[in-house]
């Protein structure tokens, strides 16, 4: 019995031409720092990423933050994507699921510590350091969002946080879809630079 479909091409039972995932060449361009390709990957996958994260994290605010972090990871880790091991969508959603699970585990661990620890003597240093680190990361994301233009913030909010497509976002903002797409792409790049994420 043949194994599961892997890699960029797969013959079907009827001998039709092999299927090529249109996201693969885009991911190759993203790996080389192509911002336009990154915008196209975001356009194709943002809704799916937010939906998956929202189901795992539950808290919509945290889900929004995690979605931002996932796409920053996509930009940073694109050179590591290997088409022979799976499709781009699967890879991106795997990043999203892992990040979402990490957030849930961290939140649960923090809650468990709060319930178990005798705070009368003060928390241990490593617990404080862990909490401070996470809070600073979230504060950094919020601070960097403030560096975006108004249109960039609105576009990112609608597309990332509310799961709208480029076309829907453009309609809500009464703006040209091409302009919205550019603002989203530029906003993500600015967030990456503000957060100090290197490609």
1-45 residue pLDDT tens = 444 444 444 444 455 555 678 999 999 999 999 999 999 999 999
The tens digit of pLDDT for each residue in 41-87 reads: 999 998 899 999 999 888 888 888 889 889 999 999 999 999 888 89
The pLDDT confidence band at residue 94, using thresholds 50, 70 and 90, is very high
Alpha-helical regions (H) of the chain: 23-31, 35-57, 60-77, 88-116, 125-145, 150-156, 166-173, 177-195
Per-domain residue ranges of the chain: 23-113+125-195
The answer to whether residue 132 scores a pLDDT higher than 50 is no
Contact 9, 19 (CB under 8 A): yes
Closest Cα partner for 173 from 185, 187, 159, 186?
Answer: 159
Identify the pLDDT of residue 8: 46
Q: How many other β-carbons are positioned within 10 Å of the β-carbon of residue 18? A: 10
Q: pLDDT band at 96, cuts 50/70/90?
A: very high
CATH fold, domain 23-113+125-195, is Rna Polymerase Sigma Factor; Chain: A (1.10.1740)
- Over residues 168-188, the mean pLDDT reads 78
Q: Is the pLDDT of residue 115 over 70?
A: no
């Amino acid at each position: 019995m043949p194994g599961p479909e892997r890699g960029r091409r797969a013959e079907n039972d009827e001998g039709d031409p092999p299927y090529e995932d249109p996201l693969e060449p885009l991911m190759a361009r993203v790996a080389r720092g192509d911002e336009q390709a990154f915008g196209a990957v975001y356009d194709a996958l943002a809704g799916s990423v937010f939906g998956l994260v929202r189901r795992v994290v539950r808290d919509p605010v945290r889900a929004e933050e995690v979605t931002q972090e996932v796409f920053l990871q996509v930009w940073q880790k694109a050179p590591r994507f290997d088409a022979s091991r799976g499709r781009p969508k699967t890879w991106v959603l795997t990043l999203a699921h892992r990040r979402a699970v990490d957030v849930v585990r961290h939140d649960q661990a923090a809650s468990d510590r709060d319930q178990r620890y005798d705070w009368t003597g003060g928390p241990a240093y490593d617990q404080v350091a862990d909490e401070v680190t996470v809070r600073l990361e979230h504060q950094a994301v919020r601070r960097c969002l403030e560096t975006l233009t108004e249109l960039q913030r609105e576009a990112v909010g609608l597309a990332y946080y509310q799961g709208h497509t480029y076309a829907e976002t453009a309609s809500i903002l009464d703006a040209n879809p091409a302009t919205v797409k550019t603002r989203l792409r530029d906003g993500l790049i600015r967030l990456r630079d503000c957060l100090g994420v290197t490609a």
